[in-house]
Amino acid sequence: MTISSFHPPQRTLMGPGPSDVSPRVLEALARPTIGHLDPAFVGMMDEMKALLQYAFKTENALTLPVSAPGSAGMETCFVNLVEPGDTVIVCQNGVFGGRMKENVVRIGATPVMVEDDWGTVVDPDKLESALKANPDAKVVAFVHAETSTGAQSDAETLVKLAHDHDCLSVVDAVTSLGGSPLKVDEWGIDAIYSGTQKCLSAPPGLSPVSFSERAAEVIRTRKSPVQSWFLDLNLVMGYWGAGAKRAYHHTAPINNLYGLFESLVMLQEEGLENAWTRHELNHQALRAGLEAMGLSFVVKEGDRLPQLNAVRIPDGIDDATVRSRLLNEYQLEIGAGLGTLAGKVWRIGLMGYASSPRNVVYCLTALEAVLADMDAPVNKGVAVSAATQRLQKG
């Protein structure tokens, strides 16, 4: 058998991630590979940390990209801050809160669950009750932007509650970083992780993380070794720490870091607040088009993520058929529902480079055409006009 080179099709990625990657980032990925301890690469690492601090709105010294996807960023936070026997309050309102619980269990700690319905935000009153009932809790963990539902919880309020009860906060910002307001220092977040493939529009495979000095001190003074050798920040910081002399820990994914670096440069050029505004405007345009078509959202207004839209599937319409036709006929990817929402919703992403008026119009055009051909109960010929009118308002 002879296998030839792989040439992927050109898709428009409007699912829950990965998102479209800018040609600038793709070009950066193709730059010459150099050694991971090369002085030029070490210089880039220092600038990378500064760019990540800008994106997170933090001055935390312990800010870096973990050399693995967002799930490894999550595990980095938990294995470094949580020890066997600790009590961790985990807020779950979708798939990814459940993954937080799995990390806690595997460490040998005790999870206390604060559960809310999928499609709703984390209820601060429920969290406060759990904190009062568990005065020995060490950490509060929650998802800022729940990718499975499109709900955006009030991170500032939840972190304040954690601190009021002398707990550290661990925050999942995989889908929010670069797409909606996120202020690590102002909100007092202790540990936060994200991914490169969402609103940063870089390829998957890296996980930006940041730890407050309070959290860093907890890591330095642990009673037991960090469960993971690879993710032990006491070791990793020997490589990502300040200064030109770095201790070898692992071979960094050099070209992938080039891509992340370029995407962060592009974010800086646009301006972080401008990126937040762009995501919100495109969300409002998509919303106008979808609602004109007669479709509705799972998450109530005010709690929705602008970059991840969970839309109810019309009665009598098969989820997989629509997504398959969009992919095959329009080269357009949207996402399926997860967990309790599987088969009930589509997840339409407007993330990073993919968050554009062009993609809003293209998605509405394609979705309306497929649904109309399937005799779905939708209004025809109105979606693009409604979206365009909303875009013109700015």
pLDDT tens sequence for the chain (394 residues): 999 999 999 999 999 999 999 999 999 999 999 999 999 999 999 999 999 999 999 999 999 999 999 999 999 999 999 999 999 999 999 999 999 999 999 999 999 999 999 999 999 999 999 999 999 999 999 999 999 999 999 999 999 999 999 999 999 999 999 999 999 999 999 999 999 999 999 999 999 999 999 999 999 999 999 999 999 999 998 888 765 568 889 999 999 999 999 999 999 999 999 999 999 999 999 999 999 999 999 999 999 999 999 999 999 999 999 999 999 999 999 999 999 999 999 999 999 999 999 999 999 999 999 999 999 999 999 999 999 999 999 8
CA neighbor of 370 nearest in space, from 331, 337, 321: 321
Question: For residue 142, which phi and psi values (nearest 5 degrees)?
Answer: -155, 165
Q: Is there a contact between 172 and 121 (Cβ–Cβ < 8 Å)? A: no
Give the separation between CA 301 and CA 50, rounded to whole angstroms.
35
Q: Under 8 Å CB-to-CB from 33, ≥6 apart: which residues?
A: 254, 255
Q: Under 8 Å CB-to-CB from 197, ≥6 apart: which residues?
A: 17, 18, 19, 69, 70, 203, 204, 205
Domains of the chain: 23-268 (3.40.640.10), 272-393 (3.90.1150.10)
What is residue 356's predicted lDDT score, i.e. its pLDDT?
98
What is residue 357's predicted lDDT score, i.e. its pLDDT?
98
